[in-house]
Amino acid sequence: ETGVTQTPRHLVMGMTNKKSLKCEQHLGHNAMYWYKQSAKKPLELMFVYSLEERVENNSVPSRFSPECPNSSHLFLHLHTLQPEDSALYLCASSQDVSSGANVLTFGAGSRLTVL
Amino acid sequence: GENVEQHPSTLSVQEGDSAVIKCTYSDSASNYFPWYKQELGKRPQLIIDIRSNVGEKKDQRIAVTLNKTAKHFSLHITETQPEDSAVYFCAAEDKAAGNKLTFGGGTRVLVKP
Protein backbone atom coordinates (compact mmCIF):
# COMPACT_ATOMS: atom_id res chain seq x y z
CA GLU A 1 0.00 0.00 0.00
CA THR A 2 1.15 3.51 -0.79
CA GLY A 3 -0.09 5.05 2.44
CA VAL A 4 -3.55 6.09 1.23
CA THR A 5 -6.18 3.44 1.88
CA GLN A 6 -9.74 3.53 0.56
CA THR A 7 -12.69 1.37 1.53
CA PRO A 8 -14.76 -0.15 0.17
CA ARG A 9 -13.03 -0.94 -3.12
CA HIS A 10 -16.35 -1.72 -4.77
CA LEU A 11 -19.82 -0.51 -3.90
CA VAL A 12 -23.19 -1.14 -5.54
CA MET A 13 -26.09 0.90 -4.28
CA GLY A 14 -29.61 1.80 -5.18
CA MET A 15 -30.73 5.34 -5.74
CA THR A 16 -32.41 5.53 -2.35
CA ASN A 17 -29.54 4.08 -0.33
CA LYS A 18 -27.18 5.91 1.97
CA LYS A 19 -23.56 4.79 1.99
CA SER A 20 -20.15 6.22 2.81
CA LEU A 21 -16.70 5.98 1.29
CA LYS A 22 -13.72 6.09 3.60
CA CYS A 23 -10.18 7.25 3.05
CA GLU A 24 -7.24 7.10 5.43
CA GLN A 25 -3.71 8.38 4.91
CA HIS A 26 -0.64 7.45 6.93
CA LEU A 27 1.75 9.93 5.34
CA GLY A 28 1.43 12.83 7.75
CA HIS A 29 -0.04 14.98 4.98
CA ASN A 30 -2.11 18.07 5.71
CA ALA A 31 -4.36 18.05 2.66
CA MET A 32 -6.84 15.47 1.42
CA TYR A 33 -8.91 15.38 -1.76
CA TRP A 34 -11.82 13.58 -3.38
CA TYR A 35 -11.66 13.12 -7.17
CA LYS A 36 -14.23 11.58 -9.48
CA GLN A 37 -12.97 9.54 -12.43
CA SER A 38 -15.50 8.72 -15.13
CA ALA A 39 -14.86 7.01 -18.42
CA LYS A 40 -13.36 9.31 -21.05
CA LYS A 41 -13.34 12.34 -18.73
CA PRO A 42 -10.58 14.17 -16.93
CA LEU A 43 -10.10 13.62 -13.25
CA GLU A 44 -12.66 15.92 -11.63
CA LEU A 45 -11.78 17.53 -8.33
CA MET A 46 -14.75 17.37 -5.94
CA PHE A 47 -13.54 18.45 -2.52
CA VAL A 48 -10.33 19.61 -0.87
CA TYR A 49 -9.60 19.70 2.83
CA SER A 50 -6.61 21.39 4.40
CA LEU A 51 -6.00 20.67 8.06
CA GLU A 52 -9.56 19.39 8.37
CA GLU A 53 -11.12 22.53 6.89
CA ARG A 54 -12.83 22.43 3.54
CA VAL A 55 -11.11 24.80 1.13
CA GLU A 56 -12.69 23.78 -2.15
CA ASN A 57 -16.06 22.58 -3.29
CA ASN A 58 -16.26 22.48 -7.05
CA SER A 59 -20.04 22.87 -7.32
CA VAL A 60 -20.64 19.28 -6.37
CA PRO A 61 -24.30 18.24 -5.91
CA SER A 62 -25.46 18.12 -2.32
CA ARG A 63 -26.09 14.37 -2.59
CA PHE A 64 -22.33 14.11 -2.01
CA SER A 65 -21.38 15.19 1.50
CA PRO A 66 -17.74 15.14 2.64
CA GLU A 67 -16.49 14.85 6.18
CA CYS A 68 -12.96 15.28 7.49
CA PRO A 69 -12.83 14.53 11.23
CA ASN A 70 -9.03 14.81 11.34
CA SER A 71 -6.14 15.25 8.95
CA SER A 72 -5.77 11.48 8.47
CA HIS A 73 -9.35 10.57 7.63
CA LEU A 74 -11.75 11.66 4.93
CA PHE A 75 -15.25 10.41 4.21
CA LEU A 76 -17.65 10.89 1.33
CA HIS A 77 -21.25 10.35 2.36
CA LEU A 78 -23.58 9.37 -0.45
CA HIS A 79 -27.35 9.63 -0.55
CA THR A 80 -30.03 9.55 -3.24
CA LEU A 81 -27.45 9.18 -5.97
CA GLN A 82 -28.19 8.98 -9.68
CA PRO A 83 -26.96 6.34 -12.15
CA GLU A 84 -24.69 8.98 -13.74
CA ASP A 85 -22.82 9.16 -10.42
CA SER A 86 -21.39 5.72 -11.14
CA ALA A 87 -17.63 6.21 -11.34
CA LEU A 88 -14.32 5.55 -9.65
CA TYR A 89 -13.91 7.84 -6.64
CA LEU A 90 -10.30 8.51 -5.84
CA CYS A 91 -8.99 9.90 -2.60
CA ALA A 92 -5.63 11.64 -2.56
CA SER A 93 -3.43 13.45 -0.11
CA SER A 94 -0.58 15.93 -0.36
CA GLN A 95 1.76 17.61 2.06
CA ASP A 96 -0.02 20.95 1.71
CA VAL A 97 -2.57 22.58 -0.54
CA SER A 98 -0.67 25.71 -1.42
CA SER A 99 2.90 24.54 -1.70
CA GLY A 100 3.10 25.22 -5.42
CA ALA A 101 4.20 21.66 -6.07
CA ASN A 102 1.32 19.52 -4.97
CA VAL A 103 2.51 15.95 -5.29
CA LEU A 104 -0.61 13.88 -4.91
CA THR A 105 -0.58 10.37 -3.49
CA PHE A 106 -3.71 8.57 -4.61
CA GLY A 107 -5.62 5.75 -3.03
CA ALA A 108 -6.70 2.75 -5.09
CA GLY A 109 -10.19 4.14 -5.49
CA SER A 110 -13.73 3.05 -4.71
CA ARG A 111 -15.64 1.80 -7.75
CA LEU A 112 -19.24 2.94 -7.28
CA THR A 113 -22.17 1.59 -9.27
CA VAL A 114 -25.57 3.21 -8.79
CA LEU A 115 -28.48 1.11 -9.97
CA GLY B 1 -9.32 29.00 -13.89
CA GLU B 2 -6.87 26.66 -15.59
CA ASN B 3 -7.84 24.62 -18.65
CA VAL B 4 -5.67 21.70 -19.73
CA GLU B 5 -6.02 19.97 -23.10
CA GLN B 6 -4.26 16.66 -23.76
CA HIS B 7 -3.62 14.88 -27.06
CA PRO B 8 -3.88 12.26 -28.35
CA SER B 9 -6.57 10.46 -26.38
CA THR B 10 -5.20 7.09 -27.49
CA LEU B 11 -1.77 6.11 -28.74
CA SER B 12 -0.62 2.76 -30.04
CA VAL B 13 3.10 2.18 -30.55
CA GLN B 14 5.32 -0.75 -31.37
CA GLU B 15 7.59 -1.94 -28.59
CA GLY B 16 10.88 -0.09 -28.81
CA ASP B 17 9.44 2.96 -30.53
CA SER B 18 8.95 6.34 -28.88
CA ALA B 19 5.69 7.81 -27.60
CA VAL B 20 4.91 11.50 -27.27
CA ILE B 21 1.95 13.04 -25.46
CA LYS B 22 1.23 16.75 -25.63
CA CYS B 23 -0.64 19.08 -23.32
CA THR B 24 -1.56 22.73 -23.49
CA TYR B 25 -2.62 24.94 -20.62
CA SER B 26 -4.32 28.30 -20.40
CA ASP B 27 -3.01 30.03 -17.26
CA SER B 28 0.33 31.68 -17.93
CA ALA B 29 0.87 31.95 -14.15
CA SER B 30 1.06 28.16 -13.77
CA ASN B 31 4.55 26.95 -12.94
CA TYR B 32 4.20 23.31 -11.94
CA PHE B 33 3.37 20.50 -14.38
CA PRO B 34 3.24 16.88 -13.21
CA TRP B 35 2.55 13.71 -15.16
CA TYR B 36 0.69 10.76 -13.63
CA LYS B 37 0.56 7.18 -14.90
CA GLN B 38 -2.43 4.96 -14.19
CA GLU B 39 -2.08 1.29 -15.05
CA LEU B 40 -5.21 -0.73 -15.60
CA GLY B 41 -7.10 -1.15 -12.34
CA LYS B 42 -4.52 0.76 -10.34
CA ARG B 43 -4.16 4.20 -8.81
CA PRO B 44 -2.58 7.17 -10.61
CA GLN B 45 1.06 7.65 -9.65
CA LEU B 46 3.39 10.54 -10.26
CA ILE B 47 6.10 9.62 -12.76
CA ILE B 48 7.76 12.95 -13.49
CA ASP B 49 7.15 16.64 -12.99
CA ILE B 50 8.66 19.89 -14.18
CA ARG B 51 8.72 23.41 -12.86
CA SER B 52 8.76 26.48 -15.02
CA ASN B 53 12.34 27.39 -14.26
CA VAL B 54 13.57 24.56 -16.51
CA GLY B 55 12.75 23.60 -20.07
CA GLU B 56 13.42 19.87 -19.90
CA LYS B 57 13.75 17.11 -17.35
CA LYS B 58 14.77 13.50 -17.86
CA ASP B 59 14.44 10.36 -15.80
CA GLN B 60 15.77 7.27 -17.57
CA ARG B 61 13.43 6.58 -20.50
CA ILE B 62 10.99 9.39 -19.79
CA ALA B 63 11.43 13.09 -20.34
CA VAL B 64 9.24 16.14 -20.14
CA THR B 65 9.69 19.37 -22.07
CA LEU B 66 8.07 22.69 -21.29
CA ASN B 67 7.50 25.71 -23.52
CA LYS B 68 6.17 28.49 -21.34
CA THR B 69 5.82 30.95 -24.18
CA ALA B 70 3.56 28.62 -26.11
CA LYS B 71 2.00 27.21 -22.93
CA HIS B 72 2.52 23.60 -23.78
CA PHE B 73 4.42 20.68 -22.32
CA SER B 74 5.06 17.17 -23.53
CA LEU B 75 5.90 13.73 -22.20
CA HIS B 76 8.37 11.64 -24.17
CA ILE B 77 8.83 7.91 -23.59
CA THR B 78 11.71 6.31 -25.45
CA GLU B 79 12.32 2.59 -26.10
CA THR B 80 8.78 1.77 -25.03
CA GLN B 81 8.12 -1.50 -23.26
CA PRO B 82 4.86 -3.39 -22.62
CA GLU B 83 4.83 -2.17 -19.01
CA ASP B 84 4.54 1.39 -20.33
CA SER B 85 0.98 0.54 -21.39
CA ALA B 86 -1.25 2.72 -19.20
CA VAL B 87 -3.27 5.92 -19.13
CA TYR B 88 -1.12 9.01 -18.72
CA PHE B 89 -2.49 12.28 -17.30
CA CYS B 90 -0.86 15.65 -17.51
CA ALA B 91 -1.75 18.39 -15.05
CA ALA B 92 -1.08 22.02 -14.36
CA GLU B 93 -1.46 23.87 -11.12
CA ASP B 94 -4.30 26.37 -11.04
CA LYS B 95 -2.95 29.50 -9.43
CA ALA B 96 -6.40 31.01 -9.19
CA ALA B 97 -7.57 27.97 -7.24
CA GLY B 98 -4.85 27.86 -4.63
CA ASN B 99 -2.39 25.76 -6.65
CA LYS B 100 -4.71 22.81 -6.97
CA LEU B 101 -4.10 20.63 -10.00
CA THR B 102 -6.20 20.67 -13.15
CA PHE B 103 -5.84 17.44 -15.12
CA GLY B 104 -5.92 16.77 -18.83
CA GLY B 105 -8.29 14.19 -20.25
CA GLY B 106 -5.72 11.40 -20.31
CA THR B 107 -3.96 9.41 -23.02
CA ARG B 108 -4.34 5.66 -23.22
CA VAL B 109 -1.02 4.25 -24.41
CA LEU B 110 -0.81 0.73 -25.75
CA VAL B 111 2.62 -0.73 -26.42
CA LYS B 112 2.38 -3.67 -28.81
CA PRO B 113 5.00 -6.40 -28.42
DSSP secondary structure of B16-64? TS-EEEEEEES-TT--EEEEEEE-TTS--EEEEEEETT-SEEEETTEEE
What's residue A94's pLDDT?
93
Average pLDDT of chain B, as a whole number: 93
By percentage, how much of chain B surpasses pLDDT 70?
A: 100
Ranges of chain B whose pLDDT falls below 50: none
One digit per residue, the tens of pLDDT, for chain A of length 115 reads 559 999 999 999 988 889 999 999 999 999 999 999 998 788 899 999 988 888 777 789 999 999 999 999 999 999 999 999 999 999 999 998 766 667 999 999 999 999 9
pLDDT in tens, B35-65: 999 999 899 999 999 998 889 999 999 999 9
Cβ atoms A29, A94 nearer than 8 A: yes
Which residue of chain A is at minimal alpha-carbon distance from B40?
A108
Nearest neighbour of B43 by CB, restricted to A48, A56, A90: A90
Inter-chain touch A98–B97, beta carbons under 8 Å:
no
Q: Report the gap between the CA of A18 and the closest CA in chain B (Å).
A: 25
